[in-house]
Structure 1
Amino acid sequence: MSLSDELQAHIQAFPGQVGVWLEHLSSGETFAHQPQRPFLAASTIKLPMLCYALATRADLSQNIPIKPEVVALGSGVLKDLSPGLVLPLRDLLTLMIVLSDNTATNVVLDHWGHKEPFNAYYRAQGWSQTHVAGMLSLPEDRPDPRRLPGDAAKTSAQDLGRLLKALWRGELLPPDATKTALDILSRQQFTAFLRYLLADLDDLEERTTPIRLYSKSGEIRCCRHDTGILARGEQALSITVLTETETDPRFHPDHPATLLIGRIAEVAYRYWLAG
């Protein structure tokens, strides 16, 4: 069975919509399924946000206060820490990616004046389906006044795949910013890509595996996503899997979308990197 046949079998068995973009970053071989379909981005929107922040060449050592009005619900730890905290921008970007901290994300958004400069950057890069709507996960009694009713962050598998390719090749950011972005992405603590591979997050951190991973996941009730670069030796592939289903709204490790993301990563790894 070919790579395409295996991947299509897994996709067709999934009870919902799937967007996939896979690319071997040396050979240029690709696989795509609904690559331009827009999906609710969930926390994958934090990946292009990271790229914009680093593209501005801002001083990553500058200290930024955590304003009460940007403290968010959902993922992260800043919401549970003492008020009045001040953190370097580098730490906020790290929390935004590594722990998917919604409050850190809102601090970053607020620091650059809200959504407009981010969306302008995405358009300039040609990421036509990628859009940030405003502050993330604010409580109902403290909504974002600049977020349009019904608006939500969106992206596509192809947009994220193109971002990853440009980042890996050093075409998106200056060399030092590229290194910073990949370093932060390598510390990700949430991923489904490793589920069926012979490595886990401890192996990656301790460098006891030849596999390297630079990724950003995202999940909300109806969506489970993962996007990143999976590498082994001199070979690397970009892999993005976006899903949408109403079958199971719970957050648990055996969600059908989580299993699908893991299976797609395993197939891609076996065909393109394992040898």
Structure 2
Amino acid sequence: MPLAEELQALIAAFPGEVGIVLENLATGERFSYQETRPFPAASTIKLPMLCYALSTGADLEQKISIRPETVGLGTGILKELSPGLALPLRDILTLMIVVSDNTATNVVLDFFGHKEPFNAYYQAQGWRETHTAGMLSLPEDRPDPKREKGDFSRTSARDQAAILKALWWGELPQARTALDILSRQQFTSFLRYIPVDLDDLEEGTTPLKLYSKSGEIRCCRHDAGILAKGDRAVVMAVLTESESDPRFHPDHPAVLLIGRIAAVVYRHWLG
């Protein structure tokens, strides 16, 4: 069955909305579906945030204190550590991506002057559907005073794919640093039906490499990344929104969809 037909069947069976961009960087072959539809970004907003932070030329070895105002709930480890910790900016950016640390994300936002410079950068890059609303997962008794009521961080499959392509082709500052951090991601749905796992990638026992950032909140499951094998590479950006199952579990319909889409791409373009 042609790639597009397989993908359309998967989309039709999914109980919700999907935004997709898939591109074979070796051949230029491309598939998209609702690519400009804005979705709540969840943790995929950390990908453009990483790019902005690296674009500033800030010293990655300078130590930054974890202020109490930035400690958030949800994913990450910094919230569990002792107060007064200070880490190099490089480590904070790494935590923001590889374990999707919400507190690290808030530290980055706070350090660079909150949302305004980030959003200006996104627009200057042409990432039109991407927007940072403010700090992530702060408790109700300690809200972000700069976050507008009802605002939320958002992005599109088109923007996520554009960011990844720009990094792959070295068109953004410190692209190699960004890709190195993305290659150490500890959460992904892309590998579910592909014959490798995160240990294989870390140990280098597979010819495949993955550079990615996932994200999830109650209504959304997303994954965006580059899967590479030798001189071939494919961009995959899959964003979903559904009210069919609010639970966080490994067999969520959107998690399975993302894995199945990646398997189709792998079989047609990298297998």
TM-score (norm 1): 0.98
- Hey, what's the Cα distance between the residues in 1 that align with 2:211 and 2:49? 15
2:245 is the counterpart of 1:248 = yes
Deviation per CA, 1:19-40: give whole Å up to 9, x if none: 0000111211100000000000
1:97-108 paired onto structure 2 within 5 Å: 97-108=97-108
- Hey, what's the Cα distance between the residues in 1 that align with 2:154 and 2:211? 21
Structure 1 gap ranges (5+):
none
Deviation per CA, 1:171-217: give whole Å up to 9, x if none: 122xxx11111110000000000000000000000000111000000
1:265 to 244, 248, 262: 262
2:172 is the counterpart of 1:178 = no
* Cross-structure match for 1:50: 50
2:20 is the counterpart of 1:23 = no
Question: Do the aligned residues in 1 keep the contact of 2:39 with 2:156 (CA within 8 Å)?
Answer: yes
Secondary structure at 2:144 match in 1: coil
Deviation at 1:252, TM superposition (A): 0.3
- Hey, what's the Cα distance between the residues in 2 that align with 1:270 and 1:125? 32
2:109 is the counterpart of 1:112 = no
1:126-165 paired onto structure 2 within 5 Å: 126-165=126-165
| Amino acid aligned to 2:215 | G
* Cross-structure match for 1:228: 225
**How many residue pairs were aligned?**
271
* Cross-structure match for 2:205: 208
- Hey, what's the Cα distance between the residues in 1 that align with 2:108 and 2:259? 30
Deviation at 1:91, TM superposition (A): 0.2
- Hey, what's the Cα distance between the residues in 2 that align with 1:53 and 1:24? 28
Deviation per CA, 1:6-62: give whole Å up to 9, x if none: 001001100000000001112111000000000000000000000000111110000
Question: Do the aligned residues in 1 keep the contact of 2:21 with 2:237 (CA within 8 Å)?
Answer: yes
- Hey, what's the Cα distance between the residues in 2 that align with 1:164 and 1:179? 12
| Amino acid aligned to 1:99 | V
Question: Do the aligned residues in 1 keep the contact of 2:20 with 2:35 (CA within 8 Å)?
Answer: yes
1:78-97 paired onto structure 2 within 5 Å: 78-97=78-97
| Amino acid aligned to 1:24 | N
* Cross-structure match for 1:2: 2
- Hey, what's the Cα distance between the residues in 1 that align with 2:217 and 2:244? 13
- Hey, what's the Cα distance between the residues in 1 that align with 2:163 and 2:104? 22
* Cross-structure match for 1:166: 166
| Amino acid aligned to 1:254 | D
- Hey, what's the Cα distance between the residues in 2 that align with 1:26 and 1:58? 33
1:237 to 231, 234, 239: 234
* Cross-structure match for 1:68: 68
Question: Do the aligned residues in 1 keep the contact of 2:183 with 2:209 (CA within 8 Å)?
Answer: yes
Secondary structure at 2:236 match in 1: strand
- Hey, what's the Cα distance between the residues in 2 that align with 1:75 and 1:240? 21
| Amino acid aligned to 1:212 | K
Deviation at 1:166, TM superposition (A): 1.0
Deviation at 1:81, TM superposition (A): 0.5
| Amino acid aligned to 2:269 | W
- Hey, what's the Cα distance between the residues in 1 that align with 2:179 and 2:255? 23
| Amino acid aligned to 1:236 | A
| Amino acid aligned to 1:226 | D
Percentage of identical aligned residues: 72
Deviation per CA, 1:107-155: give whole Å up to 9, x if none: 0000001000000000000000000000100000000000000000000
* RMSD value, Cα: 0.5
1:217 to 214, 218, 224: 214
| Amino acid aligned to 2:267 | R
